Structure 1
């Protein structure tokens, strides 16, 4: 049996001191260890590889309409590798055991805590309790989850797990998790975690930095989070709420390690987010990301192909059909700060309704990239049915300067609103592609400067607000007179 180590510097409690861990047959025990719940779990097979052949033979379906979810297959489709758990998930909740199970009112101060066992959290706060950790150093060095889905959905094998309505406060200290499925800090099933001034380093497979699922909540302040395989800030099945103020959040992994992955309501303020090899932000289904006064950078791996159906992108709003997020409108809102794409198009919408709100954001596009692509996809990852998996997007530019072309394919729709002095420079469907619906509206303070001919289905505004630069706007195939 592998050995687990606990070194306690200071141990105190709000109401009575919890006993110090003791060694029994070489294994640390706590007063609550008899209540640790180790459950067997089905091992779900991994999804098919992302290079499997697309379903090119499936006949096309009707295009989506504005505000209506494009049709697609039922939940159980193939999500993008590295983002979410496999189809369907475990048939029962599996959360494993805790090396140290916190008691109600317990305050634990200082010390080194290490676990290398399968299906085991280093710290666990469970049930109707309120506990705290201050300046503790947590090490999840080994041990695998018996179910990868349970690791993603329920916090099995996470370094720190709060669940079942527990409240846990973590001040300072560090969390280092290097084993498979070991997310740094995880809130599940109504648990609330307050997380302050902590450094979190996660390098194991199928694991992210901080995560909520099943209605958990995390309120984070001034963290330093480094994640090598999944998102630094993430959520999974059942969603929840995650609010981040300040700090630095970085990822290294490719195709599955954005700075933020949202199947919940996530809010970030005054922070720095940097994804070195993946998208900056991904939102799935009926969920949202709101970012204020932050610096956000993404660099998705891959070669840029401007006409590909599976585009290189920086911010993606989509529906995977895996069952990890409800169907509905994906929302991305950013106010102030900067959003940089070092590779690929700035925004990509597929197989979902969406709203994108930008207000006074510094946008930095990659060379030869588009501002926005709304299009169907090849279906090879199960993201809806080919021919019926386009996107629907309302993009609102308020007090915003934006440039770059926009593409909306024939099964997709866009409503572009320029308001409060917005300035857009670029062309919309310059190759003459006819979108299912494409409406451009300018209020009397905003301006559009064309860089090529543009094709829309409706234009609202005064032509004096448009700089044509020798180009034309075609509405339903007819040129607007200048």
Structure 2
């Protein structure tokens, strides 16, 4: 379910997932909470046969690989040019490459006029009802192709299975309905695209997505716009990289990563973000839904030489129920709020781990980077902040004295405090701490930590009236990704992630 999972928040990014999924409540079959982002998992109360989701999808789909059919079944070595093909039937693709063939399609138009999917899970995981599908190790080349879909569960371009490959040079995609992503790869499939123009309008319709079994999507040059709830520009349960992209999400996050997967953004400008609903909004969400669509491990988000613009009223980065790594280099972070980073538990209403044991752990690395805002780490979470050369940070760090935060500052970095801050381990390459501007505030560190022994438990006076002081600190052991709920066969067909959108 390409990220119906993310019913969640989109905070999914929170978040959102990302991580995002519409669910039926125990008290009423017709009462639904806000949908999670594209890849979010369904609520545990939503069971097969219990009510219908407002986006038209009913039961949780089984995961048995379906037989696919299409208007045009490609043959090996077949090269098609200047055709217009359309499908009107449910569970029918327009073009299908299977059984290890190699084929190409150029200067053509493909339309999925109607015919909703009969099974959202099979659409999200295996490409049922998608416009173009490559499976079974097939290789398909698309050049100067236009694709439009107007049916539920109708992804535009779908690659599924090991060694399945779709290479694209020049494509225009418009999807109108729910759970209809632009480029989507699952179970080891790969899509390599350049010169793309993508617009999705439904819920759970990420422009670029991967789902169950992981996949790889690489994009160079183009534009992407998503409008639906739970539809981030990028939703990854695999490995997605974009370069030279202009992207915008008006109903979901910029990007969501679920589990041990990655997103790389280079030389691009992307905007998006969710508003606070039941928990929090965010622009980038790293989480684990526990749906089984993404392996547990470290989510890795990297941005280089780019501009990321948040439209959220919450944190720019939100990390929950997972281990994560954020790498920023020369990226302009445009954030309308005072909250830069939140690493914390969630209320577990969406099944993201067990309450009280679903915090996050984060390694945050920055280089040649301007950062501003508050960094929040709650009592069951942990963050390692590595402000490397060229980093200029202005804000507060763990001002609530809640989480376990380790701070490492390069001699060529600058930290300016806007409130009292609390860290477990303090490491600064500048022996005189001249790279810390305190504005009269105090930076507290854990005097009992062996790594702070060199500080000598002394009060260090900073030039502008602030101090560095050692105090006793105790922390809970950070926990994440616990409490997977059994018996969840899949998520509803929507888009991907909390925004799988």
Q: TM-score when scaled to structure 2?
A: 0.77
In 1, are the aligned partners of 2:183 and 2:217 still within 8 Å (CA)? Answer: no
Contact 2:135-2:161 within 8 A present in 1 as well: yes
Distance change >3 Å, CA 235–CA 136, structure 1 → 2? same
1:387 to 356, 380, 391: 356
Distance 1:148 1:396, change over 3 A: same
CA contact (8 A) 1:434 1:456 kept: no
Alignment gaps of 5+ in structure 2 = 1-6, 8-19, 27-33, 45-59, 448-456, 462-501
Task: Note the alpha carbon deviations across 1:188-220, whole angstroms, 9 max, x for none.
Answer: 012100011110001111111110001100001
Pick aligned residue for 1:454 from 421, 437, 457:
421
Aligned equivalent of 2:339: 370
Matches of 1:97 and 1:110 in 2, distance apart? 22
| Cα-to-partner distance string for 1:107-140 (whole Å, 9 max, x where unaligned) | 1101211101111100000011110000110000
CA distance in 2, matches of 1:135, 1:374: 47
How many residue pairs get aligned? The number is 404
Aligned to 2:267: 293
The residue number in structure 2 matching 1:278 is 252
Partners of 1:317 and 1:84 lie apart in 2 by 12
Q: Is 2:273–2:283's contact at 8 Å kept on the other side of the alignment?
A: yes
Larger RCO, structures 1/2 (Cα 8 Å, 6+ apart): 2
Residue deviations 1:248-281 (CA, integer Å, cap 9, x gap): 0110011x10000000111111111111111000
Which residue number in structure 1 is paired with residue 482 of structure 2?
none
The answer to whether residue 438 in structure 2 is matched with residue 440 in structure 1 is: no
**Does the residue aligned with 2:434 lie in a helix, a strand or coil?**
helix
Match of 2:152 among 166, 170, 180: 180
Gaps of 5+ in 1: 1-45, 54-77
- Which of 130, 138, 142 is the equivalent residue of 1:170? 142
Of residues 80-89 and 238-247 in structure 1, the stretch that sits farther from structure 2 once superposed is 80-89
Q: Contact 2:366 / 2:387 at 8 angstroms: preserved in 1?
A: yes
1:315 and 1:89 map into 2 onto residues whose CA distance is 28
Deviations 1:357-406 (A, max 9, x none): 0000011002x331100000000000000000000000001111111110
Q: Distance in 1 between matches of 2:157 and 2:280?
A: 32
Deviation at 1:228, TM superposition (A): 1.4
**Distance in 2 (alpha carbons) for counterparts of 1:137 and 1:103:** 19
What is the CA distance between 1:433 and its match in structure 2? Answer: 3.0
Give the whole-Å Cα distance in 2 for the aligned partners of 1:118 and 1:137. 19
Root-mean-square deviation over aligned CA pairs: 2.1
Contact 2:273/2:281 (8 A) holds in 1: no
| 8 Å CA contact 1:289, 1:332 repeated in 2 | yes
- Which of 39, 43, 64 aligns to 1:83? It is 39
Contact 2:172 2:196 in 1 (8 A): yes
Asked if residue 257 in structure 1 is aligned to residue 236 in structure 2, the reply is no
**Could you say if the C-alpha distance between residues 378 and 84 of structure 1 is closer, same or farther in structure 2, counting changes exceeding 3 Å?**
closer
Q: Deviation of residue 244 (structure 1)?
A: 0.4
- Tell me by how many angstroms 1:464 deviates: 1.5
Q: Over residues 282-328 of structure 1, what are the superposed CA-to-partner deviations in whole Å (9 max), with x where a residue is unaligned? A: 0000100011110011132446xxxx8x3100000000000000000
Match for residue 207 of structure 1 among 180, 185, 205: 180
1:481 maps to: 460
Quick one: distance in 1 between partners of 2:184 and 2:361?
Answer: 28
Aligned to 2:70: 98
Structure 1 Cα separation of the partners of residues 423 and 383 of structure 2: 9
Rounded to whole Å, the distance in 1 between the matches of 2:329 and 2:142 is 34
Distance 1:419 1:241, change over 3 A: same
| Partner of residue 465, structure 2 | none
TM-score, length-normalised on structure 1?
Answer: 0.80
Kept in 1, the 8 Å contact 2:186–2:210? The answer is yes
Counterpart Cα distance in 2 of 1:52 and 1:282: 25
> Partner of 2:124: helix, strand, or coil?
helix
